Amino acid sequence: MAQLDLREKLEILADAAKYDASCASSGTAKRKSAGGKGIGSTEGMGICHAYAPDGRCISLLKILLTNSCIFDCHYCINRKSSNVRRARFTAQEVVKLTLDFYRRNYIEGLFLSSGIIRSSNYTMEQIVEVARSLREDHDFRGYIHLKTIPDADPELLRQAGLHADRLSINVELPTVAGLARLAPEKSAPRIEGAMRGLRQEIEDKSDAAKRYRSAPKFAPAGQSTQMIVGADAATDRDIVQRASGLYGRFNLRRVYYSAFSPIPDASAVLPLQRPPLMREHRLYQSDWLMRFYDYGPDEVADAADPATGMMPLDIDPKLSWALKHRHRFPVDVNRAPREMLLRVPGLGVKAVDKIILARRWRRLSLADVGRLTVSVAKLRPFLIADDWRPVTLSDRADLRPIVAPKKEQLELFAA
């Protein structure tokens, strides 16, 4: 490997990390350095989830320890057979960069992932050393998210969890067949075994923390995972079902979806084109329906086209579900339970909670509801208000084009 200075390494290894979507940082424990103790904080303005146009999370120093790898996953630009420029940080270089960036107020924390060098254990030891040194040698109290290596010794994963706020292990592909085909050196049972171990450790430490104040924390922001979308034949319905199973079995905080992007010198087994970015967006919306709107995975999957198993791209999954289940509507905004209001297209969780609060004092009109939502046109066929009843609108055969968002011509020179 050519001798590179720190700036050149940073250029290569920050760019290589942009393919990883899983770096949002919500839900961690509160720590601060106010009072002169330590450095860093997860509070105050906190960790914002800002993303650069190329998808990188810009509030964290998001880098790889190295983009060299002994594995050859077809979809990965860093795979062994890829012809990319390689670089590698030492653990102490990552520590120094994190502290320097933090002091300059560039970042709120660190997201560290890595290709696999020498062995899974050796690589994991380096990753753990970065987190250990930040916490123990420098009393760093900012956010740390470590991408862990499922094949590494469980003791190393345990040590990672003692220093990091969040741990993640990528399941990589939505189906076991896809993983076997595109990442033949990886094993779905080993990945899931490591996720199971993390879940156990997180729950044990969380129980201990409730009983003993001095109990060590373990990954207080939980674990997450990431799936690549569009590199294999998995449908949106497959992906939703898989995500739901992962949430249930491993108590994940988040499943991230990353639209496959064709890489230079791509393997012949990969598709030539990336999937539409809107597909990734629809999957995130489906994910939200399960996590915040009380939809079961089968209900979300029901929003997909029965023939193709794919979510429609022109309307969101909640609207798609409502159009298929018109017998459940219209819903009376002044009487319906919360779970039915959450099913009304155009009403978000905050709007529903405000409605429930407001209707304790008075009956709500369509205009009242309209003030809580972006598009009253979208919800009119699905809602009864004090001065509004959709009558025939709900039953119209051409309802879909009426409620679908209008396509807008973008201005070429818009500001």
150 in contact with ligand SF4 (CB under 6 A): no
Q: What is the CA radius of gyration of the chain?
A: 24
Of 115 and 275, nearer to ligand SF4 (C-beta) is 115
71 in contact with ligand SF4 (CB under 6 A): yes
Of 64 and 144, nearer to ligand SF4 (C-beta) is 64
Q: How far is the CB of 64 from ligand SF4 (least distance, A)?
A: 8
Q: How far is the CB of 116 from ligand SF4 (least distance, A)?
A: 5
CA–CA gap between residue 100 and residue 167 (Å, rounded): 23
For ligand SF4, the binding residue among 40, 109, 115, 174 (CB under 6 A) is 115
Q: How far is the CB of 78 from ligand SF4 (least distance, A)?
A: 4
- Whole-Å CA distances, 318 to 128, 321, 324, 378, 400: 42, 5, 10, 11, 13
Of 67 and 223, nearer to ligand SF4 (C-beta) is 67
For ligand SF4, the binding residue among 23, 60, 69, 342 (CB under 6 A) is 69
Question: Nearest Cα to 112, choosing from 75, 162, 164?
Answer: 164
Of 40 and 178, nearer to ligand SF4 (C-beta) is 178
Q: How far is the CB of 233 from ligand SF4 (least distance, A)?
A: 19
For ligand SF4, the binding residue among 78, 159, 320, 373 (CB under 6 A) is 78
21 in contact with ligand SF4 (CB under 6 A): no
Task: Report DSSP state, residue 113.
Answer: E
Q: How far is the CB of 58 from ligand SF4 (least distance, A)?
A: 22
Q: How far is the CB of 110 from ligand SF4 (least distance, A)?
A: 18
Sheet holding 109-113, edge to edge: 60-64, 109-113, 143-147, 166-168, 223-229, 254-259
With contacts defined by CB under 6 A, name the span among 21-29, 66-74, 296-304, 377-385 that binds ligand SF4: 66-74
How many Cα atoms occupy the beta-carbon half-sphere of 22 within 13 Å? 27
Backbone dihedral region of 36: left (phi > 0), alpha (psi from -120 to 50 degrees) or beta? left
CA–CA gap between residue 72 and residue 185 (Å, rounded): 7
Q: How far is the CB of 79 from ligand SF4 (least distance, A)?
A: 4
Q: How far is the CB of 332 from ligand SF4 (least distance, A)?
A: 51
Of 128 and 303, nearer to ligand SF4 (C-beta) is 128
For ligand SF4, the binding residue among 24, 73, 221, 322 (CB under 6 A) is 73
CA–CA gap between residue 326 and residue 55 (Å, rounded): 37
Angle between helices 317-324 and 277-292 (to 10 degrees): 70
CA–CA gap between residue 340 and residue 329 (Å, rounded): 9
Backbone angles phi and psi of 16, in degrees to 5: -65, -25
79 in contact with ligand SF4 (CB under 6 A): yes
Residues at the contact surface with ligand SF4, assessed by CB under 6 A: 69, 71, 73, 76, 78-79, 115-116, 183
